[in-house]
Chains A and B, each alone.
Chain A
Amino acid sequence: GAGVSQSPSNKVTEKGKDVELRCDPISGHTALYWYRQSLGQGLEFLIYFQGNSAPDKSGLPSDRFSAERTGGSVSTLTIQRTQQEDSAVYLCASSFTSRTGELFFGEGSRLTVL
């Protein structure tokens, strides 16, 4: 498809398990962002990738969170030893470059930690 694709759309897991969330950005977009949206909250920045530059990881809430972007395209956000407070919608967005600020968002992955 032409848009940002995220999978899974919904994930229910048990506390302590690891989860992986996948993002497939728009072809040709060099910038990729991960945000987290909790119920009733705004968007919390997690991490962003721009081309081959070192990612900006300043928003990752703990060392249980990590992300990688392989081949400048698909990205995976990994949460290890999930906690209940990790429950949220994880949004991925891509942009032609990080300079434009025009992000195209996916529909998100809703994570529920029991």
Chain B
Amino acid sequence: AQSVTQLDSHVSVSEGTPVLLRCNYSSSYSPSLFWYVQHPNKGLQLLLKYTSAATLVKGINGFEAEFKKSETSFHLTKPSAHMSDAAEYFCVVSPNQGGKLIFGQGTELSVKP
């Protein structure tokens, strides 16, 4: 069985400071992992994905995530937060063979001026 846990329901940072959104996964085999972002009143958008290639994955808008198998983690980071980064972020796991995607509960990111 697969599952994903987002360790923080809400994260607040100041503009220009680093962002860290934490995600741990559970999978009985090598998974594909994703981060999706949902801006207020907008649809979900893929931010980045890991599919067993490079363990450090770069996404859009300066975000990146590192797959750490030993820690079963896939944390999302950004060196410097921007006001436009305020949104809900979802960590997602999927079996490599395809099928349904399992979403975490989401982390709401607030960015203070």
Contact = CB atoms under 8 A, between A and B. Distances in A.
Interface of A: 4, 31, 33, 35, 41-45, 48, 50, 56, 58-59, 91, 93, 97-103, 105-108
What band does the interface of chain B fall in when counting residues whose beta carbon is under 8 Å from A?
Answer: 20 to 34
A29 to B, nearest CB: 13
Contacts, number: 60
> Which 5 residue pairs across A and B have the least CB separation, nearest first?
A98-B98, A99-B98, A43-B103, A42-B105, A105-B44
B101 A91 contact: no
A58 B100 contact: yes
Given A101-B32, A101-B51, A33 B101 contact: yes
Contact of A98 (B92, B99, B105, B106): B99
A101 B49 contact: yes
Contacts of A56: 99-100
A80 B101 CA distance: 25
Nearest to A4: B43
Interface in B87-103: 90, 92, 94, 96-103
Interface in B7-42: 32, 34, 36, 42
